[in-house]
């Protein structure tokens, strides 16, 4: 291999990534355009909210409760060393509302609903259903892709809010009901520490952005998958990987820009 080989490989990698990003941006723009034109497919949207939201409800609520219980236990053990157990509500609530709620929900939903979404669209490609739609002059972006992506954007902030509430309940169960903390100060330190604009609105904003990320990554990977059985599984796998990494990277930037 010539000395310029590795440099050229790096250049090829950068160009490939940029080309992929460009294709993703064009795909996103055309889905937004197709989805915002009438007829608005509200019934299909309801179906997609059911698939992405209602079917993910159990895993999200159980995970939220479990994470809250762990936070309650760890927080109680650490805070009691400094005689500050009464701050438990603030510790549990702030970490859930600001970070853990939106981020963990996004990771869970990417694994549970995002992969299924990508696999479904990719399988429609394999079985030539997308071509069938085009033959009937129905735009698959409008009929299949847009309701899925929009359904995810609606479902994610709601799921992340429910994750937070179940987490606060889990923290209360361990910190107050099991370890005998003061129930009044759990709630009052929580209320005192959480600010509406910085914390609640910031958390919801993260939910919306992560819903957008997972929804569009899943539909993009499904729509552009190779029309083979291996292509279907690759679309599902890469959706989870890309959506999870993108969630963590975007989380940092939203946190930095929102001014915590």
Partner 1 sequence: MRESPARELWVGLFVLAGLAALAWLSFSVGGVESLRAGGLQLTATFDEIGGLKKRAQVVISGVRVGQVKSIDLSDDFRARVTLDVDAALALPADTSASILTSGVLGDQYIALEPGGDPETLHSGEQISFTQSAVILERLIGKLIQNLGSGSKE
Report in angstroms how near the CB of residue 161 gets to partner 1 at its nearest.
Answer: 4
Distance of CA 103 to the CA centre of its chain: 7
Q: Are 243 and 110 in contact (CB under 8 A)?
A: yes
Residue 175 in the binding site for partner 1 (CB under 8 A): no
Report in angstroms how near the CB of residue 49 gets to partner 1 at its nearest.
Answer: 5
Report in angstroms how near the CB of residue 195 gets to partner 1 at its nearest.
Answer: 7
Of 8-16, 21-29, 31-39, 156-164, the window that binds partner 1 (rule: CB under 8 A) is 156-164
Binding partner 1 (rule: CB under 8 A), the pick from 50, 127, 241, 249 is 50
Three-state SS for 195? coil
Taking CB under 8 A as the rule, which mask of x and - marks residues 71-110 in contact with partner 1?
-----------xxx-xx-----x---x-------------
Token pair listed for 4 = 């310029």
Q: Are 68 and 168 in contact (CB under 8 A)?
A: yes
Binding partner 1 (rule: CB under 8 A), the pick from 10, 12, 25, 54 is 54
Q: Are 122 and 148 in contact (CB under 8 A)?
A: no
Report in angstroms how near the CB of residue 45 gets to partner 1 at its nearest.
Answer: 9
Report in angstroms how near the CB of residue 184 gets to partner 1 at its nearest.
Answer: 7
Binding partner 1 (rule: CB under 8 A), the pick from 195, 248, 249, 257 is 195
Q: In the complex with partner 1, which residue's Cβ is closer, 97 or 243?
A: 97
Closest CA to 234 of 129, 126, 122: 122
Closest CA to 121 of 41, 17, 238: 238
Q: What is the 3-state secondary structure (H, E, C) of 75-124?
A: HHHHHHHCCCHHHHHHHHHHHHHHHHHHHHHHHHHHHHHHHHHHHHHHHH
Binding partner 1 (rule: CB under 8 A), the pick from 25, 57, 178, 241 is 57
Distance between CA atoms of residues 103 and 206, nearest Å: 8
Of 1-9, 133-141, 181-189, 224-232, the window that binds partner 1 (rule: CB under 8 A) is 181-189
Binding partner 1 (rule: CB under 8 A), the pick from 30, 34, 44, 205 is 44
Closest CA to 190 of 118, 87, 116: 87
Of 3-11, 113-121, 154-162, 221-229, the window that binds partner 1 (rule: CB under 8 A) is 154-162
- Sequence-separated (6 or more) residues with CB below 8 Å from residue 155: 49, 52, 53, 56, 109, 113, 211
Interface residues with partner 1 (CB under 8 A) are: 43-44, 46-47, 49-50, 53-54, 57, 82-84, 86-87, 93, 97, 154-155, 157-159, 161-162, 164-165, 168, 184, 188-192, 194-196, 199-200, 203-204
């Amino acid at each position: 291999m010539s000395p310029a080989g590795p440099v050229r490989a790096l250049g090829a990698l950068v160009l490939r990534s940029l080309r992929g990003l460009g294709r993703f941006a064009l795909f996103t723009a055309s889905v937004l355009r197709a989805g915002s034109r009438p007829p608005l497919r509200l019934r299909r949207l309801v179906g997609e909210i059911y698939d992405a939201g209602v079917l993910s409800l159990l895993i999200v609520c159980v995970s939220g409760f479990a994470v809250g219980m762990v936070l309650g236990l760890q927080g109680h053990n650490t805070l009691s060393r400094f005689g500050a157990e009464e701050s438990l509500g603030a510790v549990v609530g702030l970490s859930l509302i600001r970070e853990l709620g939106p981020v963990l929900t996004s990771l869970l939903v990417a694994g549970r609903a995002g992969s299924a979404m990508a696999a479904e669209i990719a399988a429609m490609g394999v079985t030539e259903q997308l071509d069938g739609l085009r033959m009937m002059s129905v735009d698959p972006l409008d009929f299949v892709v847009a309701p899925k992506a929009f359904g995810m954007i609606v479902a994610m902030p709601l799921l992340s809010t429910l994750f937070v509430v179940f987490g606060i309940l889990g923290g209360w169960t361990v910190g107050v009901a099991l370890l005998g903390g003061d129930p009044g100060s759990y709630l009052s330190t929580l209320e005192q520490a959480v600010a509406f604009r910085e914390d609640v609105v910031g958390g919801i904003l993260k939910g919306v952005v992560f819903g957008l990320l997972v929804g569009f990554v899943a539909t993009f990977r499904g729509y552009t998958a190779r029309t083979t059985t291996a292509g279907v599984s690759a679309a599902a796998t890469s959706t989870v990987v890309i959506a999870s990494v993108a969630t963590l990277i975007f989380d940092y930037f939203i946190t930095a820009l929102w001014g915590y």
